[in-house]
Structure 1
Amino acid sequence: MKRLLIPLAAAGLSAATLALPANAEPHWATDPLTPKPADAYSSANFWLDANGAALRKATQYYWDFKNVPKLVGAQSNTPDDGKPGMTAPTGNVAAATKVKNVNLPKTIGKVFFLDQAGRYRWCSATSIQSRHRNLVVTAGHCVYEKGKDVFRKWVFVPGYYQGMAPWGIYVGAYAFTAYDLDTYDDYDGDYAFVAVHNGFSLAGSKQVSKAEYDKWLGDKWAQDAQITQAKYTKCVDLHGGETPDCWAKLATTSDVVGPDYPDKKRAFKEVSKEEYDKAPTGNGNGAQEPLKTVVDHVTKSEYEAYKGLGYRKIDALGNYTITHYFLGYWVKESTKTLYYKTVFTVGIAKNLGRLGDVVGGQGFAWNQPMGQKVTVFGYPSAHQPDGDKPYTGLTPKYCIGKTGTKTYQVNTFKAETHQVLKCSMTPGADGGPWLLRYDNNKRTGYVNGVTSVFHDQDGNDRIDYISSAYFDGEVAAVYNKASYAETKVIVGPKGELLQ
């Protein structure tokens, strides 16, 4: 099984006091994603399997460019929703340097998920400071499909690049969003805060005994390696008889003998599950107990391509398995007997700790004045409405500018108070953070919006504006609720899956 190997890096971050929003009436909705460690481990393995093949297969969240929405006339000035507030970011302070370009923050990355049609999708997102240092913020439509069900197998990969997860993978446990988005698909609430479990990386594998293999709750797989008769005999003699690790397999059953035949040997022949279930034992025709099954843990592609006698099944942990069934026979010595050793392997994972301790967390700001300078990050990927494709989605891009001094309507998405920024980034940048007061040396700022909708305002078939929900006291109430969410450690000190 090929799997994605992730550099085992973690950063120690200084503590910061979490400022809680005041004077905000709760108006939020919450939904579970994958709160159980076993399910979370399965979701992560789904994306990391086969060296990150699923990650590379994913495409940006779908947008229909046949009807790019336009902003409708400027509305009010800064909405009057109480006092402004801020929560400080956390992260490492880099040495002061003079650079022409913007330094990319470690906190940004991609969220990956399966939509309701089973398509592999992604959006942009960032880690944000919270009480338990476990929070991601992105667009609401990158967590909820049309304001209804949450997406499946939702994970966050900070610093994602071409199938690699340099700081681990973090599985979503609970999602928090605006009640109006969850209920009415109203894009004035197109934001979501997702509490994620501790991150982990895959740190290789090791061979174990059959007993250890059976007890292991994490990633595991078994493979049969053909060996010589001499090695088979040595293996059997070493264990004082037949063992689960070494076994003989019949190419045909022409050399089957009775149980009283001198110098007989036991061998196995693979059969279908149906034949296995119906087979008599100890009937004088050579079939003998114990019967034998071998469970192979395989990749998704191997599972789908398999055409043999084995029984295919996805187990409770989401592993792809093929169970092989064998009937035992007494046989005489024959060149038609093949000898095997089953190699049992378990995958080792490494707990990386809380997201905010590894990559830091951006600050959070609400009820801020309009017309301020923001730095917006994201992974644009989709083509422009005219067909031009200036972005690949492989690396993050940014826009810098002042937001509009008034809010706008986006009728297609039921939005009435979106803030806007002149920017040509295309879909794929959905969910990327709008950072106030971005410090290019510290690589931190204050999240005051997330990219929600893309606009062709001048009608030339090119994206020229992006918009975000205005982050007011209601957003602060949702953030405050999300910051209390506690999540779990997924893997233990030995790399095993925790219950």
Structure 2
Amino acid sequence: MKRILLPVGVAGLVAASLAVPAHAAPKVGQSAKMATPAAAADTLEFWTADGGKNLKAAAPYGLEHAKVPKHVSTGGPAADGKPGVVPAIGDEAKPTTTTKNVNLPKSAGRVFFTVGDSLYSCSASSIQSAYKNLVATAGHCAYDLEGNASVLGHWVFIPGYYQGKAPWGVYVGKTAYTHHDFSVYEDIDRDFAFVTVYNGITWSEGKWKDLGRLGDNVGGLGFAYNQKVGQNVFVFGYPTAAHPDGDYTYTGSTMKWCYGKPVYPVAEKSVKAEEHQAIRCSMTGGSSGGPWIIKYSSTARKGYLNGVSSLGGDTDGNNRSDLITSPYFDGETYAVYKTAAPLWSGSIVKKDGTLGLTETK
């Protein structure tokens, strides 16, 4: 059976040393199980068998909305507390050199999942957590809005996905955490999710091989909330869909990026979005869930996650995508993040190369 996974090269990162800020936020999160260790075996086989045929066949997944989101005013967000940050993994190791190039973050990657019998993809990123096992993405890239069936099926994260390759392995989703208003009321102002993942896995020498924790392999972004809108932001993702005019500018095989200063608020009532931030960007479907990073260092390839791609479209009527949006990250976003951040996942590879929960805390 052919597989696309390659031998992994792991660059270890030292642990972060900055203190996590205290924040008394309400319990607003909802959780749902994605895969047990037993189900993870089926998920891995599903995506990696036959040379990764299903990975290559996955269609871009986006949130259907009736109109293009519109900037409705120049007012600032109603932050529900003081600004706060959580440091990135290894953030105390400051770079001694600088670069003018935009180096892509190792922490960003592609998400693959199923809705019924259909194959789809989104974008996502690794972020700081107690066990270095947490992924941030859009809520609609984790929760099944169409079928209202809790989570999406066969969910995996592949950091650094590049032309069908998984350089740091495949990470199966364990549990997804969303905002109560998103999972219950489909409030797109809360279109974000945090997913704990099992240790990375690859296929090597006829058996499964455990690659260790996500954050140890690719690092993890910091987390920022209640920030002033208008800071320069880099947005990364894997756009795959055609522009409205039918031009397939993107293939989903490589990571792309945009840069700009967000405006706020941006609204699209057909999906209950009233308080999004937005930048000019030509990314199309498939980029949903990709990280919005403030204070991004191209040398260190990290910064602070301050949003995830949610909506987009053509604002000037030329049939070319030119705008993407993100929910505003406030104290309630931080509360959902903090629910997921201290939770453990572990390894699902046994010594004989078969799958099943083996590691204890």
With structure 1 as the length reference, what TM-score do the two structures score?
0.68
Say whether 1:350 aligns with 2:209: yes
Structure 2 contact 26–332 (Cα < 8 Å) conserved: yes
In structure 2, what is the equivalent of residue 167 of structure 1?
Answer: 168
Residue number among 354, 358, 368 corresponding to 2:227 in the alignment: 368
Say whether 1:42 aligns with 2:49: no
1:388 CA displacement: 2.2
Larger radius of gyration: 1
Change (3 A) 1:93 1:104: farther
Tell me, in whole angstroms, the C-alpha distance in 1 between the residues paired with 2:60 and 2:13.
32
In structure 1, what is the equivalent of residue 120 of structure 2?
Answer: 121
Q: Which whole-Å deviations, capped at 9, do the CAs of 1:268-326 have from their partners, x for residues lacking one?
A: xxxxxxxxxxxxxxxxxxxxxxxxxxxxxxxxxxxxxxxxxxxxxxxxxxxxxxxxxxx
Say whether 1:176 aligns with 2:194: no
**Residue aligned with 2:324, SS:** strand
Q: Which whole-Å deviations, capped at 9, do the CAs of 1:162-191 have from their partners, x for residues lacking one?
A: 321110000000000111110111100100
More displaced stretch, 169-178 vs 156-165: 156-165
In structure 2, what is the equivalent of residue 344 of structure 1?
Answer: none
The one-letter amino acid paired with 1:353 is: G
Tell me, in whole angstroms, the C-alpha distance in 2 between the residues paired with 1:418 and 1:467.
6
Change (3 A) 1:379 1:37: same
1:335-484 to structure 2, matched below 5 A, reads: 348-404=207-263, 406-484=264-342
Structure 2 contact 277–325 (Cα < 8 Å) conserved: yes
Tell me, in whole angstroms, the C-alpha distance in 2 between the residues paired with 1:103 and 1:368.
24
How many residues in Structure 1 have an aligned counterpart in Structure 2? 352
Tell me, in whole angstroms, the C-alpha distance in 1 between the residues paired with 2:22 and 2:144.
28
Structure 2 contact 107–160 (Cα < 8 Å) conserved: yes
In structure 2, what is the equivalent of residue 158 of structure 1?
Answer: 159
More displaced stretch, 363-372 vs 479-488: 479-488
Tell me, in whole angstroms, the C-alpha distance in 1 between the residues paired with 2:22 and 2:189.
19
Tell me, in whole angstroms, the C-alpha distance in 2 between the residues paired with 1:153 and 1:41.
10
Tell me, in whole angstroms, the C-alpha distance in 2 between the residues paired with 1:367 and 1:12.
31
Q: Which whole-Å deviations, capped at 9, do the CAs of 1:45-64 have from their partners, x for residues lacking one?
A: 21011121111111111565
Change (3 A) 1:57 1:87: same
1:480 CA displacement: 0.2
Tell me, in whole angstroms, the C-alpha distance in 2 between the residues paired with 1:429 and 1:5.
22
**Residue aligned with 1:104, SS:** coil
Tell me, in whole angstroms, the C-alpha distance in 1 between the residues paired with 2:298 and 2:182.
33
Tell me, in whole angstroms, the C-alpha distance in 1 between the residues paired with 2:295 and 2:188.
25
Change (3 A) 1:474 1:456: same
Structure 1 contact 433–451 (Cα < 8 Å) conserved: yes
Structure 2 contact 202–208 (Cα < 8 Å) conserved: yes
Tell me, in whole angstroms, the C-alpha distance in 2 between the residues paired with 1:98 and 1:15.
24
Change (3 A) 1:372 1:159: same
Task: Give me the CA root mean square deviation.
Answer: 1.8
* Amino-acid identity (%): 46
Change (3 A) 1:84 1:94: closer
Q: Which whole-Å deviations, capped at 9, do the CAs of 1:198-218 have from their partners, x for residues lacking one?
A: 11111122xxxxxxxxxxxxx
Tell me, in whole angstroms, the C-alpha distance in 1 between the residues paired with 2:170 and 2:94.
24
In structure 2, what is the equivalent of residue 136 of structure 1?
Answer: 135
The one-letter amino acid paired with 1:434 is: W
Q: Which whole-Å deviations, capped at 9, do the CAs of 1:373-396 have from their partners, x for residues lacking one?
A: 000001111111122222121111
Tell me, in whole angstroms, the C-alpha distance in 2 between the residues paired with 1:46 and 1:93.
40
Q: Which whole-Å deviations, capped at 9, do the CAs of 1:348-393 have from their partners, x for residues lacking one?
A: 1111111001100011000000111000001111111122222121
Deviation >4 Å, runs of 4+? 62-65, 91-95
The one-letter amino acid paired with 1:438 is: Y
In structure 1, what is the equivalent of residue 109 of structure 2?
Answer: 109
**Residue aligned with 1:155, SS:** strand
Tell me, in whole angstroms, the C-alpha distance in 2 between the residues paired with 1:44 and 1:21.
38
In structure 1, what is the equivalent of residue 196 of structure 2?
Answer: 195
1:460 CA displacement: 2.6
Q: Which whole-Å deviations, capped at 9, do the CAs of 1:216-271 have from their partners, x for residues lacking one?
A: xxxxxxxxxxxxxxxxxxxxxxxxxxxxxxxxxxxxxxxxxxxxxxxxxxxxxxxx
**Residue aligned with 1:49, SS:** helix
